[in-house]
């Protein structure tokens, strides 16, 4: 990428989240991830070039030195902080504005600093000699939110030991208008992954979980897109039957990608409580479901990192206050304790060498605060699975009904969560739990009588993956 010859016409809108907007290059497998600011105080809160560059470099360092060792080298692409010509960034911002979803327009793209994070475009597979595939790769993005119930003795509300935060948070978001309906997604202890968060084919989004959409119709449309990938060209199957086959084939590939590990004989047993009472999966199904993950598969790595939060925010809060008090008494130690980074190897050491029991020290408190923040990142990252078919057209395939697939698995959105957000998390936790108790507990029994979802279930409204013992 020649930074002095940047042309907005070489880039197009790719997607965005709460904190960043992503554009992809039309020719090369590259994306630029730009910061976003709230429209309300964009003028006041924007960063100078140096501040923005430092912020982005922090993200790169954190990804490289902290998250990569924890989550595994092969899943992480840390990228590079770049400085772009301001003219290019301004033109780009105008160009992408009309593509942006309305729900994200409460924030504006950073056109002040000229800084961005340059990353490989993970919706594309790096060239593979075995593939003579003309179809664009298929890409599925999944956000694996917190996958366990707290086992901390600091938890004061019993409901937190029964219902996962994700399920409780949904009720809160529903009440506050962020979501329009409850989702069946519940990742608690790997029992289920509600499928198909976002599917991208050749850089275009072909399916996205919309909370007010007709899910069945959407899935039928998705199945039409997927047919060429999963059904041989001469197949006579059509309609509902083919949708079912195609979606089940897709699920198989996704499960392989999520569970593939260096050593499939090794599995990890989950620690702590495994069942979320609010999960809309039938209890019998949950009881019969395997709670093991192959060691080192992507879900196992993410779950292990999420579980660094082993005190729960209720146990963490007093330690945060201990750190705050210490910083008031010894403000100069903020830097050596690496409260705001730098995210170096020694930051990782503070996490890994944190004493297991509270010895009253500041080292313990800081270690737990750092662990909590890292766990928060792992609870908010995304997994991107990029799939391409191969071998189908070279005549060597013995079973034409089962084209072979090659895929890559990456983890993205690994930004550090701010130290300052801990008090907010503590207040939010209370609000979520109180709201859940107020709004749902009298009806709790009803949650136990839901229908079973397994694979592609026409009668149900969702498509859910359930991991069975193998
Ligand atoms: O609070 P949660 O669990 O809803 O997670 C937020 C996400 O909501 P989601 O669960 O995807 O609907 C939220 O994602 P969306 O805006 O919903 O895409 C953000 O990722 C947010 O992180 P940040 O404040 O941008 O650093 C996330 O906030 P934190 O991870 O900082 O809590
Ligand atoms: N390297 C990449 N390759 C391809 N697509 C990407 C890449 N990085 C991000 N994206 C896409 O852009 C979207 C937004 O990026 P990202 O999740 O990093 O934004 P965010 O603002 O940090 O999200 P959040 O709302 O979780 O805070 C992602 O959901 C993904 O679809």
pLDDT tens digit string along 365-394? 999 999 999 999 999 999 999 988 775 554
In this structure, which ligand is nearest to the CA of 411? Answer: 2
pLDDT tens digit string along 5-41? 899 999 999 999 999 999 999 999 999 999 999 877 6
The Å distance, Cα 271 to ligand 1 centre, comes to 25
Q: Given the structure tokens 């737990």, which residue do they identify?
A: 368
pLDDT tens digit string along 241-251? 778 888 888 88
The closest-lying atom of ligand 1 relative to the alpha carbon of residue 17 is 18
Instruction: Convert 293-321 to b/e letters by CB count within 10 Å (16 or more is b).
Output: bbbbbbbbbbbbbbbbbbbbbbbbbebbe
pLDDT over 80 (residue 199)? no
The Å distance, Cα 68 to ligand 2 centre, comes to 17
pLDDT at 402: 55
Q: Given the structure tokens 């962020």, which residue do they identify?
A: 178
pLDDT tens digit string along 32-73? 999 999 877 666 667 789 999 999 999 999 999 999 999 999
Show me where the domains of the chain are located: 3-120, 138-307+379-466, 312-377
Q: What residues flank ligand 2, with Cβ below 6 Å?
A: 14-20, 22, 31, 33, 119-123, 141, 380, 382, 412-413, 415
Q: Comparing 401 with 87, which gets the higher pLDDT?
A: 87
Mean pLDDT (the chain, rounded) = 80
pLDDT over 90 (residue 182)? no
Distance CA(149)–CA(159), nearest Å, equals 10
Distance CA(193)–CA(190), nearest Å, equals 7
Q: In sequence order, which ranges of 330-408 are alpha helices (DSSP H)?
A: 333-336, 345-352, 362-378
174, 380, 425, 435: residue to mutate for ligand 1 pocket, most atoms within 8 A of CB:
380
Torsion angle (degrees, nearest 10) of CA 214, 219, 220, 223: 160
Q: Given the structure tokens 């107020």, which residue do they identify?
A: 438
Is 3-120 a domain of CATH 3.30.200.110? yes
pLDDT average, residue stretch 118-145: 79
Q: Give me the sign of the Cα torsion angle 34, 37, 43, 45.
A: negative
62: DSSP letter: I
pLDDT tens digit string along 324-374? 999 999 999 999 999 999 999 999 999 999 999 999 999 999 999 999 999
16, 17, 408, 411: residue to mutate for ligand 2 pocket, most atoms within 8 A of CB:
17
């Amino acid at each position: 990428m020649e930074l002095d010859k940047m042309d907005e016409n070489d880039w197009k809108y790719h997607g965005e989240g709460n904190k960043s907007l992503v554009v992809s290059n039309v020719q090369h497998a590259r994306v630029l991830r730009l910061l976003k600011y709230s429209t309300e105080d964009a003028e006041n809160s924007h960063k100078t070039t140096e501040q923005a560059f430092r912020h982005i470099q922090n993200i790169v360092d954190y990804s490289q030195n902290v998250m990569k060792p924890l989550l595994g080298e092969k899943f992480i692409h840390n990228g590079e902080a770049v400085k772009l010509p301001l003219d290019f960034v301004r033109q780009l911002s105008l160009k992408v504005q009309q593509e942006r979803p309305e729900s994200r327009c409460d924030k504006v793209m950073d056109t002040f600093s000229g800084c961005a994070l340059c990353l490989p475009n993970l919706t594309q597979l790096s060239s593979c000699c075995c593939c003579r595939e003309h179809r664009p790769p298929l890409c599925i993005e999944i956000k694996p939110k917190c996958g366990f119930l707290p086992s901390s003795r600091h938890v004061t509300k019993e409901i937190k030991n029964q219902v996962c935060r994700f399920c409780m948070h949904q009720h809160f978001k529903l009440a506050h208008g962020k979501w329009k309906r409850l989702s069946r997604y519940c990742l608690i202890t790997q029992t289920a992954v509600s499928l198909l968060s976002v599917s991208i084919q050749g850089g275009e989004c072909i399916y996205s979980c919309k909370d007010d959409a007709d899910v069945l119709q959407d899935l039928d449309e998705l199945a039409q897109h997927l047919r060429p990938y999963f059904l041989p060209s001469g197949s006579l199957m059509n309609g509902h039957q083919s949708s079912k086959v195609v979606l089940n084939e897709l699920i198989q590939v996704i499960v392989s990608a999520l569970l593939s590990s260096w050593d499939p004989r090794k599995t990890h047993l989950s620690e702590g409580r495994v069942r979320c009472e609010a999960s809309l999966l039938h209890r019998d199904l949950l009881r019969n479901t395997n709670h093991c993950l192959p060691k080192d598969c992507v879900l196992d790595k993410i779950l292990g990192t999420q579980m660094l939060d082993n005190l729960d925010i209720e146990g963490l809060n007093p330690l945060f206050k201990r750190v705050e008090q210490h910083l008031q008494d010894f403000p100069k130690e903020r830097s050596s304790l690496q409260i705001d980074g730098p995210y170096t190897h020694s930051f990782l050491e503070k996490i890994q060498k944190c004493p297991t029991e509270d010895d009253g020290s500041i080292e313990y408190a800081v270690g737990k605060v750092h662990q909590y923040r890292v766990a928060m990142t792992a609870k908010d990252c995304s997994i991107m699975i990029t799939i391409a078919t191969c071998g189908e057209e070279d005549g060597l395939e013995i079973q034409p009904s089962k084209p072979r697939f090659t895929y890559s698995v990456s983890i993205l959105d690994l930004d550090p969560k701010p130290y300052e957000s801990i008090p907010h998390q503590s207040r939010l936790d209370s609000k979520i739990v109180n709201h859940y108790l107020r709004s749902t507990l009298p009806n709790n029994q009803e949650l136990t009588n839901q229908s079973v979802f397994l694979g592609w279930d026409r009668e149900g409204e969702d498509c859910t993956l359930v991991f069975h013992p193998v």
